[in-house]
Structure 1
Amino acid sequence: MSTTRRRFLQAGLAGAAGLAIGRRGLAASETSIPVRAITRGPKHHWFAYYDKLQFDPTNRYVLSNEVDFEHRTPEPTDVINVGMVDIQDGDRWIELGQSRAWGWQQGCMLQWIPGSDSRVIWNDREGDQFVSRIHDVRTKETRTLPSAIYTISPDGRFAITADFARIQSLRPGYGYVGLPDQFADQKAPKESGIFRVDLETGERKLILSLHDIAQVPVSGEKVDQHWHWFNHLLISPDSKRFTVLNRWRAEDPATGKLQPRWQTRMLTASVDGGDLAILKLSTMISHFIWKDPEHISMWTKPLDKPDGFYVVKDRTSETTVIGEGIMTRDGHLTYIPGHPDWILNDSYPDKVNRNQVPYLFHVPTGKKVELGAFHSPLQYTGEWRCDTHPRASNDGRLVTIDSPHGGNGRQLYLIDVSGVLNS
């Protein structure tokens, strides 16, 4: 038996994590997949989004946010703690800093900087601007960049970011409170959009404006009369291109209020903002991940095709369905490091028991392995819901999820999937 699996068994497997059969969901022990809580109350812990590095290169330290309340929108005065869990030392909590720029769905963009074994980064608010903190967990030194970040290049040299005040004004819960949208009276401002940030110098440069993208029609129809924002940015594995969702909401001419629903298109471009490509899909695009430098996997509805997960070739409309008839619900997908045939994904709460199910899917064989069913109480809905957002360690052997199923509010859980990958 491996040291990792023995440690899980000593921790009490799913029993220690508070899993039970019935309303709370199927115990992970029923599937022989070890799981344990690595954070505990009274404070609440979560990492948030699924597409960022949560584990350090040794897979010993697991990043997390910490907060003392739930079930409401953050206020400008709300501060969260930023820290990491030492899963080889009794799941010891190590505090690293604080953040005043955060949300329930994506946290404060806390993540390890790729290529570094000791530096982490997160967003914060300082005076009248959003900033980011680069903290060395060994030396304890912290450096501040004069810009928030969204996604870090895999080579660790730069970030791509959006206007978080703009996002908050048009899609509350995905931006940050505390600062107003400077362009709240403009549908597609020239000075707001996507920025590139040098992680060494802090230099920030606008590379694609909302005004410019609003001038590009959709299927021959003008969209510059709508209210635009950018959200969900990711840089390709070779650090050469990025993808982003351009979203817009129409204004009701009778009331002047924005329509509750929005439309979406996916763009890709080089990391300097050039070589822009608009993927010719429908205006329904949800979660996505780069599969390799030329392909993006996502939940979408291609033209004349049903909803589902598809692999889309960059700069084209070429799509290939994945998980047909098996991965039938939208989820937060990534590829397991070192095991590119395996997809890690999850589901939203089902309508009967409100169970969330993270799972592994083997692309070549169509094999699906559920990692447990985790109950999400009814109060975890809307902006402050707690999606599991599964994330894999760098060697692919461990998975973390956020979940409120144990009765202690949202906490971090660690799942040993090495037995699945080796089976």
Structure 2
Amino acid sequence: MTNRRHFLQTSITAVFASRLGLSAQEAEKINVRQITQGPKYHWFAYYDKDQFSPDNRYVLGNEVDFEHRSPTADDVIKVGMVDLQDGDKWTELGESHAWNWQQGCMLQWVPGTESTVMWNDRQGDKFVCHLMDVKTKEKRTLPNPVYNLSPDGKWGIAPDFRRLNDTRPGYGYAGVPDPNKEVLIPEDAGIWKINMETGEQKLIITFAQAAAIPYEGGFSPNAKHWFNHLLFSPDGSRFIFLHRWKGDGDKSFNTRLFTAKADGTDLYVLDPLGRTSHFVWRDPQHVFAWAFHPSHGDRFYLYKDKTSEVEVVGKDKMPRNGHNTYVPHTNNEWVLNDCYPDKERMQTPYLYHIPTDRRVNLGHFYSPAFYTGEWRCDTHPRSSRDGRLVCIDSPHSKGRQMYLIEIHDIVGT
């Protein structure tokens, strides 16, 4: 019977190792542990946020009592943390009325602090952001939601979550209608910068600004524009975001990858080719992203900011879109990644060593067919601060739960 301290050995024999795409030696090193339990469901969601506390003792997560439908304005989730040193004990920290399946409520540890977390919520007809010290339980609330935090934790940036709920279900929040729902290119909304001390926010990039920058071939007629996926660079000097639109005749949305200074100036189209997906900064000058490029088609590429320099990464070993980050303390040599369900509905988180072109699968996790679309459960692998552990979300055992994977023996952290 599974309990909180139970280790699920991914494989220790050559037979099972083969099933997982591992050598027997590699498989023996991979331990997978379920750290949350039913009957309620638990997940962290996105892959580019700090889930582990600075000392790696606590792992943040969301708790919900249903699956397989869109959240409504009345649906509430609990936010909490798992104590890895106390039997994986769950401690509730609060709740949120502003959340989605793919990114939760933006729950994350605040950089530059030892014990402060943040998450978004809804109060009345406004989205807000809570900050709580998990040791003292002291809490304060900012009057605006936050998407991403600067490396020093002093600044936040946010898209229009109201608009996202219409244009990209699974990434916005229900409960507050978009005042510009019928406006294709709003001039009074876009990306805001938030002072995390005072809560003051400023609109720094508008939809109209981005749409005014020419797109080769032109925008489709009646295209509705939005922004998503914002991320500060490691030094906080710039940030990245996706400009997306969909109009008449478009089967799906189109995408441009932008970078900008932290104040919203110096906009630069880093990838204009329409298919940028997941990304992460490697360093303040380079962005590592899944995209299309004429050289190798749809692959992972490394882009140098404000130049046309681009090179493919893991062409043969990472041929499918996934949620990519660099493992900390590995000199950016190890990539942590995953892929969407294959024909057998298996999801595979894995490690990729760039210098040697070596891939190490961390297991195959079954995703039932009804986990699809907006309420799918991607593994979204997240590294601990020291690069020794990975946490994933997976629905393979009676609903989405969180699992811990040890990787230190593989990457040498």
Residue 323 of structure 1 is matched in structure 2 by 314
Shift of 1:221: 2.5
C-alpha separation between the residues in 2 aligned to 1:400 and 1:179?
32
Give the superposition deviation at 1:12.
3.9
- C-alpha distance in 1 between matches for 2:314 and 2:108: 29
TM-score with structure 2 length normalisation? 0.94
Residues 305 and 181 of structure 1, relative CA distance in 2, 3 Å threshold: same
CA deviation vs aligned residue, 1:243-273 (integer Å, no higher than 9, x gap): 0000000035xxxxxx441100011000101
Partner of 1:279: 270
Hey, what does 2:379 align to over in structure 1? 388
Alignment-mate amino acid for residue 406 of structure 2: D
After TM superposition, the runs of 4+ consecutive aligned structure 1 residues lying more than 3 A away are 9-12, 25-30, 222-225
1:294 corresponding residue in structure 2: 285
**Alignment-mate amino acid for residue 343 of structure 1:** V
Identity value in percent? 53
Shift of 1:185: 1.4
In 1, Cα distance between equivalents of 2:288 and 2:411: 21
Look up the equivalent residue of 1:389 and give its one-letter code. Answer: H
Alignment partner for residue 78 of structure 2, among 74, 78, 81? 81
Q: Displacement, 1:13?
A: 2.3
Q: 1:13 and 2:10 equivalent?
A: no
Q: Are the counterparts in 1 of residues 10 and 31 from structure 2 also a CA contact under 8 Å?
A: no
Q: Deviations over 1:398-421 (max 9, x none)?
A: 0000001122x1000000111111
1:137 counterpart = 2:134: yes
Shift of 1:225: 4.4
- Greater relative CO, 1 or 2 (CA 8 Å, sep 6+): 1
Aligned amino acid, residue 331 of structure 1: G
CA contact (8 A) 2:241 2:258 kept: yes
Cα displacement (A) at 1:422: 2.6
The 5 Å alignment of 1:3-42 reads 11-14=5-8, 26=20, 31-32=27-28, 33-42=30-39
One-letter amino acid of the structure 2 residue matched with residue 316 of structure 1:
T
Q: Work out whether residues 215 and 223 of structure 1, in 8 Å CA contact, stay in contact via their aligned partners in 2.
A: no
Whole-angstrom CA distance in 1 between matches of 2:131 and 2:385: 21
- Structure 2 unaligned residues grouped into runs of 5+: none
- What is aligned with 2:93? 96
Structure 2 partner of 1:265? 256
In structure 1, how many angstroms separate the alpha carbons of the residues matched to 2:222 and 2:211? Answer: 8
Match for residue 418 of structure 1? 408
Q: What is the one-letter code of the residue matched to 1:127?
A: G
| SS of 1:212 mapped into structure 2 | helix
Change (3 A) 1:29 1:326: closer
Secondary structure of the residue that 2:352 maps to in structure 1?
Answer: strand
Q: Contact 2:33–2:405 at 8 Å: present in 1 too?
A: yes
| Superposition map of 1:324-339 within 5 A | 324-339=315-330
1:60 correspondence with 2:57: yes
Question: Where does residue 392 of structure 2 map in the other structure?
Answer: 401
Displacement of 1:173 after TM fit?
A: 1.3
1:69 aligns with 2:66: yes
What is the CA-CA distance between 1:211 and the residue it aligns to? 1.1
Amino acid at match of 1:378: A
Which of 173, 178, 186 is residue 176 of structure 1 equivalent to?
Answer: 173
Instruction: Please report how far the alpha carbon of residue 169 of structure 1 lies from its aligned counterpart in structure 2 after TM superposition.
Output: 1.1
Measure, in 1, the Cα distance between the counterparts of 2:23 and 2:65.
Answer: 30
Q: 1:303 to 1:317 in 2, by over 3 A?
A: farther
1:280 and 1:71 mapped to 2: Cα distance? 34
Matched residues in 2 for 1:82 and 1:273: separation?
A: 31
Query: 1:13, 1:34 within 8 Å by CA — same for their partners in 2?
Result: yes
**Aligned residues, how many?**
403
Query: What is the DSSP-based 3-state SS (H/G/I as helix, E as strand, rest coil) of the residue aligned with 2:156?
Result: strand
Please tell me whether the aligned partners of residues 12 and 36 of structure 1 are also in contact (alpha carbons under 8 angstroms).
yes
1:216-248 deviation line (CA, Å, top 9, x unaligned): 111263568421000000000000100000000
CA distance in 2 between counterparts of 1:152 and 1:228 reads 24
Aligned match of 2:337 in 345, 350, 363?
Answer: 345
Distance in 1, Cα, partners of 2:31 & 2:58: 19
Distance 2:348 2:87 in 1: 27
Local SS of the residue matching 1:401: strand
Give the counterpart letter for 2:297 in structure 1: P
**Any stretches of 5+ residues in structure 1 without a counterpart?**
1-8, 253-258
Equivalent residues of 1:26, 1:374 under 8 A apart: no
- Relative to structure 1, the CA distance from residue 181 to residue 341 in structure 2 (aligned partners, 3 Å threshold; closer, same or farther) is same
Q: Which amino acid aligns with 1:265?
A: R
2:189 counterpart of 1:199: no
CA distance in 2, matches of 1:284, 1:16: 34
Distance 1:16 1:350 in 2: 19
Q: CA RMSD in A?
A: 2.2
Q: For residue 243 of structure 2, give the secondary structure of its aligned residue in structure 1.
A: strand
What is the deviation of 1:28? 9.2
Does the 8 Å contact 1:214/1:223 carry over to 2? no
Deviations along 1:77-128, one digit per CA (max 9) or x if unpaired, are 0000000000110000010000000000000000000111110000000011
The alignment partner of 1:286 has SS state of coil
Q: Report if the CA contact (8 A) 1:232-1:245 is conserved.
A: yes
Output the CA distance in 2 between the equivalents of 1:303 and 1:316.
17
Q: Which residue of 2 aligns with 1:5?
A: none
Output aligned runs, 1:111-190, within 5 Å.
111-190=108-187
Q: Distance in 2 between matches of 1:411 and 1:349?
A: 17
1:372 corresponds to 2:366 = no
One-letter amino acid matched to 2:125: D
Does the 8 A contact of 2:155 with 2:195 survive in 1? yes
